[in-house]
Structure 1
């Protein structure tokens, strides 16, 4: 006769000795590549990643990490495409739809990442997008990873809404620019969040189309992040605010990744302290629970 398994409620502590560490990779256009530098630092210090939530640029970086289990090779893969080849990814859209069609970007993603489904990844990954028809946040976690990324990077005005799963998707950064809530829903005990939203104003003398779109998007993302991220001792927020969404010059000079390494190193002790604090609290909770059960059984 089979015994019925009892489910552990959220209030009951797990018997795990190590915390489940989640990575929340925010949106940020070209500067999202700085996330690679942060992850490199985490790897150097043997900080394991058990789950990943990504949005827009963070979805691309997160997908590579989820597929390979390591960020090694990502930087080289990016720089195999020259500035001239990068320009070839531009495919202008039909009038009144968006600036770019995005079909060439889809093909590039397939070259960079290959063809993977969510159920065969090395590390669990959820990707954030915005359902344009329902006007709500969606967590994509089944089916094609590349299709989910394409949905998550559909920045209004830049790319047209992406048709997938019988709906239309826009950039996930419109609703959840730094997906802390997503990674917590995946069961993360410790959250390492990389945020690219604007904290200080940058002077713009003569705004053009791209700077206007970029600044508008920055304002939306910044205000949404303020609403989404709360105070939590087990959430380490790494803010990388320099540069703008479309700054390919700094991309090719590796300035983004260098900035990520710098910020990763600046936060590594805080990450280790959060892990140690979780372990200490968790061990204490387990001891208290065992003592309570022992007293109950002897009474």
Structure 2
């Protein structure tokens, strides 16, 4: 009998690109999740996958904008479709958020044939936070891209999204790794935490570093509390260090740092499946 696998993809900004390697490991084992949940970048990667995009296609998209060893940032602007990417990373100081995520999402979803949750090949649930009630909001029906936008709307960077009279912001504020909303009848649950680590330093952080790292400190506290109450069968943390929230141009470096996650996941899955069948 086919085992029901539930996969939870956490938030973590650019470090979440490493989720592609988790999905690649599952592909190589000829395994396919029955359910996916996602927060922030995890919601985006999850949506791309659930809509039928292969990990090879996802890798190609992110690597297209990756800074190579012999390049500086100015080299990236000469590449194909780069102006859509620049639309995403360029500050919009007159808006309510410094960045507008629609342009990136529009680009990423050009090759994804799904505009609604009902069109996805695999059921997906996306986590956002209600700004005013401070409660978790789970989105799993209706238009897809607005839900992903809401889940990624990091305060101060991305403009909040209004869905059904709710003002929504980044899901990481309430549930950074949403393994607890996976269906209870899963045979195997996998959660991936991509918040990552920073090298310990004595230097005073910049304002942006202080804001983002403080947010991630709070996320880690939420995760620790959740893990004391319940835990997934497999909990993974890719070894991605010193990658900032918006450094998507470091995709090649992120993939390189996170390579070992594939081997770890395969080993843990084999151990879990063996215990299930015994």
Q: Does TM-score exceed 0.5, indicating one fold?
A: yes
1:269 aligns with 2:253: no
CA contact (8 A) 2:9 2:37 kept: yes
Give the structure-1-normalised TM-score.
0.78
Tell me how far apart the structure 1 counterparts of residues 273 and 117 of structure 2 sit (CA, whole Å).
Answer: 28
Shift of 1:126: 0.6
CA contact (8 A) 1:130 1:138 kept: yes
Q: Deviations over 1:103-127 (max 9, x none)?
A: 4334334435354211111111111
Question: Counterpart in 2 of 1:67?
Answer: 51
1:53 aligns with 2:37: yes
Task: Give the 5 Å matches for 1:172-187.
Answer: 172-185=171-184, 187=185
Q: Deviations over 1:158-216 (max 9, x none)?
A: 1121112211111001111111101245x422111110235676326242233122202
Task: Give the 5 Å matches for 1:226-265.
Answer: 226-230=224-228, 235-240=233-238, 241-244=240-243, 245-251=245-251, 254-265=252-263
Secondary structure in structure 1 of the residue aligned to 2:258: helix
Question: Counterpart in 1 of 2:104?
Answer: 105
Question: Counterpart in 2 of 1:40?
Answer: 24
Q: Where do 4+ consecutive residues of structure 1 move more than 6 Å? A: none
Shift of 1:243: 2.9
Tell me how far apart the structure 2 counterparts of residues 198 and 69 of structure 1 sit (CA, whole Å).
Answer: 25
Secondary structure in structure 2 of the residue aligned to 1:73: helix
Shift of 1:60: 1.0
Q: Which runs of 5+ in 2 are unaligned?
A: 67-75
The structure whose Rg is larger is 1
Q: Deviations over 1:218-277 (max 9, x none)?
A: 1111111112234768611111242332333532xx122233331121231111111221
Alpha carbons of structure 1 residues 41 and 165: separation in structure 2 relative to 1, 3 Å: same
Q: Name the count of aligned residue pairs.
A: 261
> Could you tell me which of 219, 223, 242 is aligned with 1:221?
219
CA contact (8 A) 2:51 2:114 kept: no
Q: Structure 1 stretch 238-247 or stretch 109-118: which is displaced more?
A: 109-118
Task: Give the 5 Å matches for 1:24-39.
Answer: 24-39=8-23
Give the structure-2-normalised TM-score.
0.84
Tell me how far apart the structure 1 counterparts of residues 271 and 33 of structure 2 sit (CA, whole Å).
Answer: 16
